[in-house]
Amino acid sequence: MEEYVKILQRRIIKEIELVDGNKFKIDRWERPQGGEGISCILQDGKIFEKAGVNISIVHGNLPESAIQQMKSRNKDLDPSNGPYPFFVAGISIVMHPHNPYAPTIHLNYRYFEINNANGTKLWWFGGGSDLTPSYLFEEDAIHFHKTLKDACDKHDPSYYPEFKKWCDEYFYLKHRNESRGVGGIFFDDLDRKPQEEIFAFIKQCGDAFLPSYVPIIQKRKDMKFGEEEKHWQQLRRGRYVEFNLIWDRGTKFGLQTPGARIESIFMSLPLTARWEYMHKPEKNSREDNLMEVLKNPRDWVA
């Protein structure tokens, strides 16, 4: 996994630099408690307001709070038997384009390993990818979901329906009763097949990133827009911040991990966001159409 995320990161950066015309800033960092990472950020580019492609390979002992969280997910961990050495290797991507018609994308895939006191090893893969538009283009949602479904179907026909549903449930703002975006796939604790088979699936998903997103960006990046569309995008960015700071488990795990690199965790936040009291889009407006889909997630591919 370590080698794969490094190769994938390089490939994605190269392609996105071609799209934007600007270069990523590359920061290599080490975690004093063990581990390293490479954070690549393109900020205030031509097409992207902020795009981050991070990889991290971290090891250490699981903090108590993380053990509790994992226990609640049926991991066989007894806090009194700790500390548990862990290893995690993953890639995280968030890209926020300038153009309000171009959607934000998020991807994260990670491999997690915990050494049990009795010498056995727990391991699993988790992650997914989801799309967050400010304006709904059905063809974009369909293209995105179809690309992910094709990747899933190559490995197990049950994956896409299960992980699509999981994504709708996970990227959900309970306090707003709305989804973050038009979804995608999400899963965690995936260990139901031999490790090599799941790893092959993860690579398929990682490889699907560019084909799932770049065609959409090419279509939307030069569309004309005005103040009104920018304003709505900023309000939607506010919701993105709410999800990441209140609900996202990855962010929470990051904030709990001693010595975590906060600037890498927060690269997922947009450059700018907005909150207005009691803002409500006009009935049947394009803004209202998006809200309709966020309140009632759709099936985008048959």
> How far is 98 from 169, CA to CA, in rounded Å?
28
Q: Based on the shown chain and the rule CB under 8 A, indicate whether residue 262 belongs to the binding site for a copy of itself.
A: yes
Is 106 an annotated catalytic residue?
Answer: yes
Query: From the list 73, 175, 193, 295, which residue makes contact with a copy of itself (rule: CB under 8 A)?
Result: 175
Q: Based on the shown chain and the rule CB under 8 A, indicate whether residue 28 belongs to the binding site for a copy of itself.
A: no
Q: By C-beta, is 147 or 233 nearer to a copy of itself?
A: 233
Smallest distance, Å, CB 47 to a copy of itself?
17
> How far is 227 from 232, CA to CA, in rounded Å?
9
* Contact in structure between 274 and 237 (CB atoms under 8 Å): yes
Query: From the list 119, 120, 278, 284, which residue makes contact with a copy of itself (rule: CB under 8 A)?
Result: 278
Q: Based on the shown chain and the rule CB under 8 A, indicate whether residue 26 belongs to the binding site for a copy of itself.
A: no
The region of 67-75, 135-143, 161-169, 276-284 touching a copy of itself under the rule CB under 8 A is 276-284
Q: By C-beta, is 137 or 266 nearer to a copy of itself?
A: 266
Smallest distance, Å, CB 279 to a copy of itself?
9
Question: Cis before residue 97, ω within 30 degrees of 0?
Answer: no
* Contact in structure between 3 and 13 (CB atoms under 8 Å): no
Encoding tokens for residue 14?
């190269």
Q: Under rule CB under 8 A, which residues in 38-97 are in contact with a copy of itself?
A: 41, 43, 50, 52
Nearest one of 204, 49, 187, 214 to 131, comparing CA atoms: 214
Smallest distance, Å, CB 36 to a copy of itself?
17
How is residue 84 annotated by DSSP? P
Smallest distance, Å, CB 172 to a copy of itself?
14
The region of 81-89, 128-136, 274-282, 288-296 touching a copy of itself under the rule CB under 8 A is 274-282
Task: Give the CA distances from residue 255 to residues 83, 110, 112, 244, 260, in Å, rounded to whole numbers and listed in that order.
Answer: 19, 17, 17, 12, 7
Q: Under rule CB under 8 A, which residues in 92-131 are in contact with a copy of itself?
A: none
Q: Based on the shown chain and the rule CB under 8 A, indicate whether residue 271 belongs to the binding site for a copy of itself.
A: yes
> How far is 184 from 182, CA to CA, in rounded Å?
7
Smallest distance, Å, CB 178 to a copy of itself?
11
Q: Based on the shown chain and the rule CB under 8 A, indicate whether residue 272 belongs to the binding site for a copy of itself.
A: yes
Which one of the listed residues 106, 145, 175, 279 is annotated catalytic?
106
Q: By C-beta, is 245 or 301 nearer to a copy of itself?
A: 245
> How far is 261 from 35, CA to CA, in rounded Å?
11
Q: Which residues of 249-267 are buried (b: 16+ CB within 10 A; e: fewer)?
A: ebbbbbeebeebbeebbeb
Question: What are the residue numbers of the active site?
Answer: 106
